[in-house]
A and B are shown apart, each in its own frame.
Chain A
């Protein structure tokens, strides 16, 4: 256990009434590491994810982000601390343009107090700077041409890119991606894999990834965590997980 650990979960348990959705799960994600969370439907992946992002409050255990306990914090507090997420489907603001979506991502950067806003003019500069940055980022991810289109009118792949840009806009140290490859064509998947790798390797972002597309997981993940019935059944590099007996059981129901 070193200080380098970006995100650390210890005995995290989430209950919904009598159902134990996540049962005493522990693991950690380091800076620059790509960690994939896999498991059959209902295994508790999304619930665990929600516990980290604050959308669900874990009943017990501890979730440390950069050494700070975040288990009971609200989603906007966790986001402000630098753990940003994307959503499984339709996480964008459909009525906002791609650019405006990213600007919402930069909301805290466009600092203008309520009173200052009404009587001053300082917010204009911050807004202009944020707009420039948002356009640059969209350009960088190959969706610059769609900047002024409503997000709801973009293709599935473009929406996914805009959502990733929006999450990344604040340079967060931790990125939580909930099934980013869903509905993407094979070529777009490869592109996505390349982006994820770049983010981790070159920018040192820690990435926690839920994904069903197993070939994507195997090609990008440094470590694969397998959940089954809310419990962690494996936590190892991809090649090792592939051969793991418990994993096969989780997926196929027999050895």
Chain B
């Protein structure tokens, strides 16, 4: 029964199709931002939540994906849709590189600091590699197009984003429900025992980092055309905290959690935009409340509400 209910989730994108008709351009921009943060949350959650490794290099994949897309468009004149796959690939490669300390046995705070440094190194690269990135002044991202169709409005971008996000959610869901998802949880629980059961733990760690990096890179490609201007300041520590808040509020180790977190963290501050400074207060309060009352995030609340919301290998 719960499996049937779960299939109904695939109707959600269909329900979203007419939504742009109800929104003004600004609201549409906010919805797009929420959408593009879905893969950012999912990729981050895969490594931190499912695999249980404290890797803080998520913003690096995000920025690299964004700059890959932006640079290929601005300098080579490629249409946006041709830059999406390269952005994902660059994110995936960056993820594999960021997994190296973890493969050498670096864990916990040490891993957190090393991966954090990786992210900062990337930010430094955007600043220094002025020829490509425009340095700290940033660069303009040309108008995107999809198969010759101009993605010049937020409404048009919405449909492109929705398609990409659905694809990412569907494939990651499959991955996490399979023996791979089970192996990730086994590694998180007891790495030595997982290896003793024949699981090549190193290979799986690289896989999780690479898959996570790739989907976050795709989020970056969407970010590039959504904001239309890239500058290093978009990829600083504040951005990392925001992305971390997505998975904390949404629920560590839950695919649904990554999605909900992206929506909540993007939408919540919008409610209070008329009171300057209030959005940060809401943001902070939200995190404190969730950690106090729902340590496993909003996903745990949903899981209690209905079994259909429980990811196969999500444990609260």
Chain A interface (Cβ < 8 Å from any Cβ of B): 53, 55, 74-76, 79-80, 84-85, 87, 90-96, 100, 103-105, 107-108, 110, 112, 114, 117-118, 123, 127, 150, 166, 170
**Residue among B175, B185, B194, B196 with most chain A CB within 10 A:** B196
Instruction: Establish whether residues B207 and A114, one from each chain, have CB atoms under 8 Å apart when the complex forms.
Output: yes
**Residue among B185, B199, B201 with most chain A CB within 10 A:** B199
Instruction: Establish whether residues B174 and A93, one from each chain, have CB atoms under 8 Å apart when the complex forms.
Output: no
Instruction: Establish whether residues B195 and A79, one from each chain, have CB atoms under 8 Å apart when the complex forms.
Output: yes
What's the nearest-Cβ distance from chain B to residue A104, in Å? Answer: 5
Instruction: Establish whether residues B179 and A107, one from each chain, have CB atoms under 8 Å apart when the complex forms.
Output: yes
Bound-state CA distance A26–B207 (Å) is 39
What's the nearest-Cβ distance from chain A to residue B255, in Å? Answer: 15
Instruction: Establish whether residues A76 and B201, one from each chain, have CB atoms under 8 Å apart when the complex forms.
Output: yes
Bound-state CA distance A150–B189 (Å) is 12
Residues of chain A contacted by B185 (CB below 8 angstroms)? 93, 95-96
**CB within 8 Å of A: which B184-214 residues:** 185-186, 188-190, 192-201, 207
| A-B contacts, 17 listed (Cβ < 8 Å) | A75-B196, A76-B196, A76-B200, A76-B201, A79-B196, A92-B190, A93-B185, A93-B189, A94-B189, A95-B188, A104-B182, A104-B194, A107-B182, A108-B198, A112-B178, A114-B175, A166-B197
Instruction: Establish whether residues B198 and A117, one from each chain, have CB atoms under 8 Å apart when the complex forms.
Output: no
Chain B at the A interface: SS class: helix
Instruction: Establish whether residues A110 and B193, one from each chain, have CB atoms under 8 Å apart when the complex forms.
Output: no
Among A84, A95, A100, A110, point to the contact of B196 (Cβ < 8 A): A84
Q: Give the B interface residue count (CB, 8 A).
A: 25
**Residue among B179, B182, B199, B315 with most chain A CB within 10 A:** B179
Instruction: Establish whether residues A112 and B179, one from each chain, have CB atoms under 8 Å apart when the complex forms.
Output: yes
Chain B interface (Cβ < 8 Å from any Cβ of A): 171, 174-175, 178-180, 182-183, 185-186, 188-190, 192-201, 207, 315
Among B174, B178, B194, B195, point to the contact of A74 (Cβ < 8 A): B195
Closest A residue by C-beta to B188: A95
What's the nearest-Cβ distance from chain B to residue A120, in Å? Answer: 10
What's the nearest-Cβ distance from chain B to residue A84, in Å? Answer: 7
Instruction: Establish whether residues B183 and A107, one from each chain, have CB atoms under 8 Å apart when the complex forms.
Output: yes
Instruction: Establish whether residues A79 and B175, one from each chain, have CB atoms under 8 Å apart when the complex forms.
Output: no
Instruction: Establish whether residues A75 and B179, one from each chain, have CB atoms under 8 Å apart when the complex forms.
Output: no
Beyond the given pairs A95-B189, A107-B199, A114-B175, 7 more chain A to chain B contacts, judged by CB atoms under 8 angstroms and listed by A's residue number, are: A75-B195, A76-B195, A84-B196, A87-B196, A91-B190, A100-B182, A112-B179
Among A79, A94, A110, point to the contact of B179 (Cβ < 8 A): A110
Bound-state CA distance A108–B197 (Å) is 9
Bound-state CA distance A132–B27 (Å) is 50
Bound-state CA distance A90–B192 (Å) is 11
Known: A93-B185, A93-B186, A96-B185. A104 touches B199 (CB 8 A): yes
Residues of chain A contacted by B174 (CB below 8 angstroms)? 117-118
Known: A117-B175, A118-B175. A96 touches B197 (CB 8 A): no
What's the nearest-Cβ distance from chain B to residue A163, in Å? Answer: 9
Residues of chain B contacted by A127 (CB below 8 angstroms)? 178-179
Instruction: Establish whether residues A87 and B193, one from each chain, have CB atoms under 8 Å apart when the complex forms.
Output: yes
Instruction: Establish whether residues A53 and B196, one from each chain, have CB atoms under 8 Å apart when the complex forms.
Output: yes
Closest A residue by C-beta to B211: A114
What's the nearest-Cβ distance from chain A to residue B311, in Å? Answer: 13
Closest A residue by C-beta to B190: A93
Instruction: Establish whether residues B180 and A114, one from each chain, have CB atoms under 8 Å apart when the complex forms.
Output: yes
Bound-state CA distance A114–B183 (Å) is 13
Residues of chain A contacted by B207 (CB below 8 angstroms)? 114
Instruction: Establish whether residues B196 and A85, one from each chain, have CB atoms under 8 Å apart when the complex forms.
Output: yes
What's the nearest-Cβ distance from chain B to residue A209, in Å? Answer: 16
Which 10 interchain pairs have the tightest Cβ spacing? A93-B189, A75-B195, A79-B198, A95-B315, A110-B179, A80-B198, A104-B186, A76-B195, A93-B186, A76-B200
